[in-house]
């Protein structure tokens, strides 16, 4: 068994169920910080203010957070829930060793080292949003699930290989996503993990590229080295530093129109990255073990999502932005 989870004692919480008309995609496994606990993981993109980089400001605040144990050199299943797939896009999976609790909160200097990059098809290959076909773990509207990493118009799941050289111990696993359609946004969910079977050495991790932060609003000024910039409409971003490991699930695309604050370090779509061991073209990929076979996080406490009555939808946005209660 590659992945198992440790669950500390759950606490009862008051359930305030409210159906969500549409809900943004959120990583559900490994289970993010504050998935079901105050101050609640946020489904909206990073806004640089209330929901800052990194991790929407969410970190270890409650012992009932589920920590996922992952083995260096082994793949970890990553799953999502929600309906607002925004036509998919590109995403990066990364690891940080910077203590989320350092200095009493998230450290804006945290380094998120890219272990895997997906160009296109993340977390869906879809024209726009997905149809509401069920209820997710947060009592959210949930789209159909592909059950693999290649279905269309459904939420995909991925097996992300963890490099053998990762340092053992507690770490933070992050999923950052740049949606293809709609507002030009960056999403990030972070989950506590414990890495085993790796090394005691940080040198190879240090050599990995940091994640791409384009679309992070300029209002957040405390991220060292980040020069605010945006991607364009309809763009499947071709990440500037995708790292060695990843796959091209859909060809990158250039923006329909170049925004004035375009992220100029993004390579043109014609330059297709080459990843070590990417056999996407051959259609080959390790057989997925159904996620239901992994030791799934046991639901803890209760669910407490509500929608603001006004929907909290910025003008010109693509789909409603549900907001979690208690944020």
Given 3-state DSSP classes, what are the helix, strand and coil percentages for the chain, each rounded to the nearest 5? 5, 25, 70
Sign of CA dihedral 251, 82, 58, 308: positive
Query: What residue number has its CB nearest to ligand NAG?
Result: 151
Q: Burial code of 47-73, b = ≥16 C-beta within 10 A, e = fewer? A: bbeebbbbbbbbbeeeebbbbbbbbbe
Q: How far is the CB of 78 from ligand NAG (least distance, A)?
A: 16
Distance, CA of 320 to CA of 303 (rounded, Å)? 20
Considering the complex, state which of residue 204 and residue 261 has its C-beta at the smaller distance from ligand NAG. Answer: 204
Q: How far is the CB of 56 from ligand NAG (least distance, A)?
A: 17
Considering the complex, state which of residue 2 and residue 13 has its C-beta at the smaller distance from ligand NAG. Answer: 2
Considering the complex, state which of residue 31 and residue 125 has its C-beta at the smaller distance from ligand NAG. Answer: 125
Q: How far is the CB of 265 from ligand NAG (least distance, A)?
A: 21
Distance, CA of 77 to CA of 3 (rounded, Å)? 8
Q: How far is CA 155 from CA 46, 138, 247, in A?
A: 21, 16, 17
Query: Which H or E run includes 203?
Result: helix 203-206
Q: How far is the CB of 138 from ligand NAG (least distance, A)?
A: 22
* Total Cβ atoms within 10 A of residue 125: 21
Q: How far is the CB of 325 from ligand NAG (least distance, A)?
A: 30
Considering the complex, state which of residue 150 and residue 168 has its C-beta at the smaller distance from ligand NAG. Answer: 150
Considering the complex, state which of residue 50 and residue 109 has its C-beta at the smaller distance from ligand NAG. Answer: 109
What contacts 226, CB < 8 A, 6 or more positions away? 53, 213, 216, 220
Considering the complex, state which of residue 84 and residue 154 has its C-beta at the smaller distance from ligand NAG. Answer: 154
Considering the complex, state which of residue 60 and residue 111 has its C-beta at the smaller distance from ligand NAG. Answer: 111
Q: How far is the CB of 296 from ligand NAG (least distance, A)?
A: 11
Q: How far is the CB of 275 from ligand NAG (least distance, A)?
A: 20
One-letter-per-residue 3-state SS of 122-171: CCCCCCCCCCCCEECCCCCEECCECCCCCCCCCECCEEEECCCCCECEEE
Written as six digits, the tokens of 259 are 């925004």
Nearest alpha-carbon partner for 325 in 307, 302, 313: 307
Nearest alpha-carbon partner for 323 in 128, 126, 9, 50: 50
Q: Which residues bind ligand NAG (CB under 6 A)?
A: 98-99, 102-103, 107, 109-111, 146-148, 150-151, 154, 290, 292-293
Considering the complex, state which of residue 150 and residue 196 has its C-beta at the smaller distance from ligand NAG. Answer: 150
Q: How far is the CB of 320 from ligand NAG (least distance, A)?
A: 26
- The distance from CA 264 to its chain's CA centroid, rounded to whole angstroms, is 23
Residue 243 CB-density burial (10 A; 0-12 exposed, 13-18 middle, 19+ buried): buried
Considering the complex, state which of residue 150 and residue 233 has its C-beta at the smaller distance from ligand NAG. Answer: 150
Q: How far is the CB of 190 from ligand NAG (least distance, A)?
A: 14
């Amino acid at each position: 068994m590659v992945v198992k989870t440790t669950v500390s004692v759950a606490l009862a919480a008051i359930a305030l169920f409210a159906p969500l008309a549409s809900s943004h995609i959120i990583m559900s496994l490994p289970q993010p910080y504050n998935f079901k606990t105050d101050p609640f993981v946020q489904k909206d993109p990073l806004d640089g203010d209330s929901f800052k980089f990194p991790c929407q400001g969410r970190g270890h605040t409650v012992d009932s957070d589920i920590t996922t144990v992952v083995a260096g050199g082994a793949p970890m299943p990553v799953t999502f829930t929600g309906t607002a797939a925004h036509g998919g896009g590109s995403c990066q999976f990364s690891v940080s060793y910077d203590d989320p609790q350092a200095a009493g909160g998230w450290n804006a200097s945290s380094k998120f080292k890219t272990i895997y990059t997906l160009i296109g098809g993340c977390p869906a290959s879809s024209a726009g949003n997905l149809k509401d076909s069920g209820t997710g773990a947060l009592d959210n509207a949930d789209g159909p699930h592909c059950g693999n990493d290649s279905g269309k118009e459904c939420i995909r799941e991925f097996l992300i290989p963890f490099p053998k050289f990762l340092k053992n111990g507690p770490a933070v696993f992050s999923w950052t996503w740049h949606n293809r359609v709609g507002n030009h946004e960056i999403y990030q969910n972070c989950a506590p993990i414990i890495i085993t079977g790796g090394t005691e050495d940080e040198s190879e991790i240090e050599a990995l590229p940091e994640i791409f932060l384009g679309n992070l609003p300029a209002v957040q000024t405390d991220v060292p080295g980040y020069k605010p910039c945006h991607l364009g409409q309809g763009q499947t971003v071709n990440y500037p530093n995708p790292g060695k490991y990843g796959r091209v699930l859909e060809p990158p695309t250039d923006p329909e129109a170049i925004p004035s604050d375009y992220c100029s370090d993004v390579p043109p779509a014609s330059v297709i990255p080459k990843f070590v061991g990417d056999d996407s073209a051959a259609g080959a990929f390790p057989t997925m073990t159904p996620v239901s076979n992994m030791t799934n996080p046991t639901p803890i406490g209760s669910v407490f999502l509500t929608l603001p009555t006004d929907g909290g939808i910025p003008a010109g946005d693509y789909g409603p932005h549900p907001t979690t209660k208690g944020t």
